[in-house]
Amino acid sequence: MKAQGLARIGKDAEVRFTPGGTAVANVTLAFTYGKKGEDGKRPTQWVDASIWGQRAEPMAPYLTKGKQIVAYLEDVHIQTYTKNDGTTNAKIVARLADFEFVSEGSGDGQRAAPAQRQAPAPAPRQAGGGGFEDMSDDIPFADPMKRRAFALSI
């Protein structure tokens, strides 16, 4: 199964190697969805994602906590595991096939890319802003069927 969406990185990526020497970068992604609750926050779905191969090690220093990305996930599935107390739990896991940086971080100014590896700054996605932080969750979206009909009538 494939999925894509806007996510925030929950903790810095961690690189490990398989016994065969293949690099694997593990990254935790937080996807928000639905309407805000009484506490003013939207529900969050956590996904354990991984990047395999040649891209894993060079990209890991830039996948730091707080950065916002558009994630393109493949092999999305539910994985069950046994916790230390003997109970069974489940989590969503996926392979991070591709991604695009949307923001530089959480705004606290504490995170930066390591000096020895400078990534090119991402191009702004919109001319008037630096992200979605200033957007309201109450923006009405057009019915996609009406939009399609409108586009076909041009």
Whether residue 15 contacts residue 62, with contact meaning beta carbons closer than 8 Å, is answered with no
Q: Which two tokens stand for residue 41?
A: 């926050």
What is the average pLDDT score of the chain?
A: 78
> What are the pLDDT digits (tens) for 20-43?
999 999 999 999 999 999 999 999
Q: Which residue has the tokens 């939207």?
A: 42
Whether residue 46 contacts residue 37, with contact meaning beta carbons closer than 8 Å, is answered with no
Angle, alpha carbons 70-47-1 (nearest 5°): 80
Helices (H), the chain: 56-59, 144-153
Return the pLDDT at 78: 95
- Structural domain total, the chain: 1
The mean pLDDT of 132-145, rounded to a whole number, is 49
For 76, the domain range is: 3-153
Return the pLDDT at 152: 39
Return the pLDDT at 134: 52
Q: Which of 95, 90, 66 is nearest to 78 (CA)?
A: 90
What pLDDT band is residue 104 in, cutting at 50, 70 and 90?
Answer: low
Whether residue 33 contacts residue 43, with contact meaning beta carbons closer than 8 Å, is answered with yes
The pLDDT of residue 120 is above 80: no
pTM, whole model, 2 decimals? Answer: 0.64
Domain at 7, CATH number: 2.40.50.140
